[in-house]
Amino acid sequence: MSQMTYLTDVWMITCVVNTATKQADKMLLAARDMGSRAALGWHARGFGARERLGALGVAVEAEKDIIQVLVPSEQRELVFEAMYKAGDLDRTGAGFMYMKPVEKLATYVPESLLERLRADGKTRTAK
């Protein structure tokens, strides 16, 4: 069995936006352009305001796109701002986004990259 590699300086940015506006695609492209290499998106159905409005709730869009992007700590502010602007989230009802630290992430990291990180003093081996 190969050694497990943990990444610990990672943040997850999560966005919830209306499906009809196609904001999710623009936001994913903005994250990619800022250097993010890990993103996930899926379709969901929201609830809340629609149900409280009764008959007027028909006008509230319930279909949502959810995006989650993993970024290193150093890039989190740049990616967050780029995604916010790309999604036009400064409008009423456009959606929302937040970020939080990821405690531990395990994934495959090529040995060549690990060696380079070790040489730069940017990694340590877990026991």
CATH number for domain 11-102, candidates 3.30.70.120, 1.10.287.40, 3.40.50.300, 3.10.180.10: 3.30.70.120
Q: How far is CA 17 from CA 14, 25, 28, 71, 74, in A?
A: 10, 10, 12, 20, 25
User: Residue length, the chain?
Assistant: 127
**pLDDT tens, residue by residue, 69-117:** 999 999 999 999 999 999 999 988 788 999 999 998 888 888 888 888 7
Residue type, 117: L
pLDDT for 126 beyond 60: no
User: Domain map of the chain by residue range?
Assistant: 11-102
Measure the CA dihedral 86/38/80/49, to 10°. 70
